[in-house]
Amino acid sequence: MSIPSELTDLKLTRRGAALFITLDRPQAKNALTAEMVSGLSELADALIAETEVRVVVLRGAGATFCAGGDVKDFAKQMMAPDPAPGERDPVRDANRAFGTLLQKLDAIPQVFVSVVEGAAFGGAMGFLSVSDVVIAAEGARYSLSEATLGIPPAQIGPFVVRKIGLFNARRLALTGARFENDTALSVGLIDERVSAADIELALKNWLNDVGRCDPAAVAATKALMNRAAATIDDAQLDAAADDFVRCLRGQGRAGAMAFAARQAPPWVEDFSDD
């Protein structure tokens, strides 16, 4: 499965080993339609098998990140009749689909970087909660205010809890919080805040850090750390030892040979000139 070349309201740009995804519905603050969720899901499926791409960068068009779910989709759900007893509920399926997307994005073997400008509301919080690195521009605004709309942060809830901790999540969600970079940084939702003018430089620095890492080791590390988030048991450490051997006998060996020959390891990528 290769990276799709065209997806509705998503712009894809490839620069070397980096894939840039732009949520591209600026007229609606990049609010997510069912079609966009489906496109991102297709993209995540392709990324899981993709070894040329080493880092994925998610941004929003028009200097805003994402305003969450699309209001029209949402209104349609609100007004849909309740399903007949025993009938499958399409509202439930649509909600669950976003959680499936987050599970997939969380599992891509690439380093996943999000760049936040402007609004990061609703589902956008889910994207941040599966990002390895989040850079935020001054003025970014966040919201975990679903309860003020009469609904829970349902599919994003478990991911937000894992990202910022149970009690930061409970406090913010149960008080319908809208917040800014200060809070986002202190709870660990974002990793770096920069002025809008410095976004590109900050991003390039992170990408070059990624560029020094072997992609196979990155993929193994991300997967073993995700497994570890639940608990540490024998099965997990056994699997980690398998990861170690696979990497060491793979690129690790090539890297050691390069090191001995005073050459750069084969996986090094410099994103500076892209």
Residue ranges in 100-139 that form contacts with a second copy under rule CB under 8 A: 100, 103, 111, 132-133
Judged on CB neighbours under 10 Å (0-12, 13-18, 19+), 273 is exposed
Q: Report which of 48, 54, 39, 38 is spatially closest to residue 2, judged by C-alpha positions.
A: 48
- Could you say whether residue 88 binds a second copy (CB under 8 A)? no
Q: Which two tokens stand for residue 141?
A: 């605004």
Is residue 183 at the binding interface for a second copy, with CB under 8 A as the rule?
no
Exposure on the CB side of residue 2, measured as CA atoms within 13 A: 3
161 binds a second copy (CB under 8 A): yes
Among 148, 195, 263, 272, indicate the residue that binds a second copy (CB under 8 A). Answer: 148
Residues from 37 through 76 that contact a second copy (CB under 8 A): 74-75
> CA 237 → CA 172, 220, 227, 234, distances in Å?
34, 13, 10, 5
Pick the stretch among 1-9, 16-24, 34-42, 153-161 that binds a second copy (CB under 8 A).
153-161
Part in contact with a second copy (CB under 8 A); list of ranges 9-17, 41-49, 142-150, 196-204: 142-150
**Which position among 35, 138, 162, 180 is part of the footprint of a second copy (CB under 8 A)?**
162
Closer to a second copy at the Cβ: 38 or 95?
95
Binding region for a second copy (CB under 8 A) out of 2-10, 59-67, 116-124, 146-154? 146-154
- List the one residue out of 29, 52, 72, 80 whose CA is nearest residue 267: 52
Q: Give min distance, CB of 177 to a second copy, in A.
A: 7
Q: Give the helix/strand (H/E) hosting 36.
A: helix 34-48
Task: Pick the closer one to a second copy by CB: 127 or 206.
Answer: 206
Count of other CB atoms within 10 angstroms of residue 272: 10
Question: Among 10-18, 45-53, 60-68, 224-232, which window interacts with a second copy (CB under 8 A)?
Answer: 224-232
In the complex, least distance from residue 241 CB atom to a second copy, rounded to whole angstroms: 4
Choices 6-14, 20-28, 60-68, 140-148; region in contact with a second copy by CB under 8 A = 140-148
Site membership for a second copy, residue 204 (CB under 8 A) = no
Residues 233-262 that bind a second copy (CB under 8 A): 236-238, 240-245, 247-256
Q: Which is nearer to a second copy, 52 or 238 (CB)?
A: 238
Give, for 100, the enclosing helix (H) or strand (E): helix 90-107
Long-range contacts of 102-106 (CB under 8 A, 24+ apart): 102/126, 102/127, 102/129, 102/130, 102/155, 102/156, 102/159, 104/41, 104/44, 104/45, 104/48, 105/40, 105/44, 105/130, 106/130, 106/159, 106/226
Please identify, using beta-carbon distances, which residue of 197 and 229 lies nearer to a second copy: 229
Q: Angle at Cα 226 formed by Cα 238 and Cα 53, nearest 5°?
A: 105
Q: How far is the CB of 8 from a second copy (least distance, A)?
A: 24
